[in-house]
Structure 1
Amino acid sequence: MAKTVWVFPGQGSQAVGMGSDLADLAKDKFAEAEDILGWSVLGQCQSDESQLANTLYTQPCLYVIECILVDLLKAQGTHPDLVAGHSLGEYSALYAADVFDFAAGLCLVKRRAELMAQAADGAMAALMGFDRDELDQALATTEGVVLANDNSSAQVVISGTPAAVEAVMTGIKTKRAVKLNVGGAFHSPLMAPAAHEFDQILADVPFKTATVPVLANVDPTPTTDGDTLKKRLMQQMTGSVRWREISLILPEQGVDTVIEVGPGRVLAGLIKRTCRSLTLQNVETLEQVEAMQPSGKVPVECV
């Protein structure tokens, strides 16, 4: 039987105005988020692009919007067979799999964003159109830089010290190499101090058995075990996002449809490059949620 996976984008997919059409149906969720965060998600989503791109705001806003879309999809009887999320999106995936509740996840995301925003003295760069063997050799022989996001065969993100990132960027042939506008070396060993502090918080949060298998960033082997999912999440801040492997495992799991829940089509594009046979859909607006429900069914208020 064919299966559907829900995938959730992370930082970089945010867009000014996202979530505005969900305000009425999800007013209680937005109010709960404001109580936890101390600021309005909808307000930040209506701010300018540079403000929304601030890690402190980007990560909680994406989590809240994605969770609300999950609630609306489930309320109309739509459910995934598997879930996965890219970096921050893994928290939305865990919420979709009922591993923790909305408030617990948002508290984690809030603290994660704070710690990552404080990170300094690191750099990241996106590389496109490269020879994989040459890249692997450069990473193996250059101290202080690692593969942060293995997104597809044609696109990766490297992370580490500014000098080491620059050395790899200029040392191998690429179609395009772009430094990312971030202050820290996310998904690298340089995040260890922040990860250690975060893990102490994460350790106290109960993780329930997932209702559907989760494909984690650091280990895409599907699992529903709460303890395993927590251990994998603890490794995420310093570990690589193995998105290419997640994409490759989808057909092996019987998946034929990928629904990207959240703003943009970044993940759908990455998966399409790796698995061209899969059907790709995107749900980021109320209209798109309604398009997936049985004819004539009225959206249920998200509470």
Structure 2
Amino acid sequence: MSNPFEDFTVIHNNEGIFTATVSGVYFFRFSMFNNLNPTPNSVVSLKKNGELLTSVWDTSGTDSHDMGSNAAVIPLKVGDNVYVELQENKLVYDSIFTATVSGVYFFRFSMFNNLSPTPNSVVCLKKNNERLTSVWDVNGSDSNDMGSNAAVISLKVGDNVYVELQANRLVFDDAGNYNTFSIFTATVSGVYFFRFSMFNNLSPTPNSVVVLKKNDESLTSVWDTNGTDSNDMGSNAAVIPLKVGDNVYVELQANRLVYDDGMNYNTFSGFLLFTM
């Protein structure tokens, strides 16, 4: 069997930034675990060449174990950069990753320094206590410095990887398949992948339900109608066959609400996997 990556060049530099080596349409997905604290303070954004595309947000409520994810399908030219950025003065939590399947894995981590005129921050990526790579900031006068790093490493089942602190927007539509109401209409029969995200109504009384539909048929949903956390995000996805003329769209259910602003939390994206 030939190597499917044999013609694929390096896709990330040593700062964990994806740099396109081929012009085309790309799919990106990212996730965020909040700061594991009764006072959540987590905001992460996906960016292209410094332009904010979409975000995951959790800065309110009492749930210290919240995760969110988001995604985008975007056109890139050679040299375009895409990356995930932890917003200033925000925090996220991560723990130990334990491999359950042997293989080659990609890891990326970021660090915000100690927000002081005297920087004193060192974070390391480790595998089974072996230091792989680091981010340092122990000199200079900039109190708002961020850095990131990444590694592609081979793991066996049981290997641990961790980071240690040392002592609603349509983004791209090249074929014109989306109309002004963000309804995707298939122009080619085939199997498609669709994904959508939802940010709840930003209220102590959540009241948000969003459904992915195909020709008025409900496929899958994201719900948040209970609890006291006013900063909840959810996402879902489906792989479905479409014929020419089939419509796919995301529908906010009657008497339900979602919240959005310039950080673009509510997204709907998809792409063709193969024709039929």
Q: Which has the larger radius of gyration?
A: 2
Question: Could you say which TM-score interval applies, normalised by the shorter chain?
Answer: under 0.3
Between Structure 1 and Structure 2, which shows a larger proportion of strand residues? 2
TM-score of the superposition, structure 2-length normalised? Answer: 0.24
Between Structure 1 and Structure 2, which shows a larger proportion of helix residues? 1
TM-score of the superposition, structure 1-length normalised? Answer: 0.23
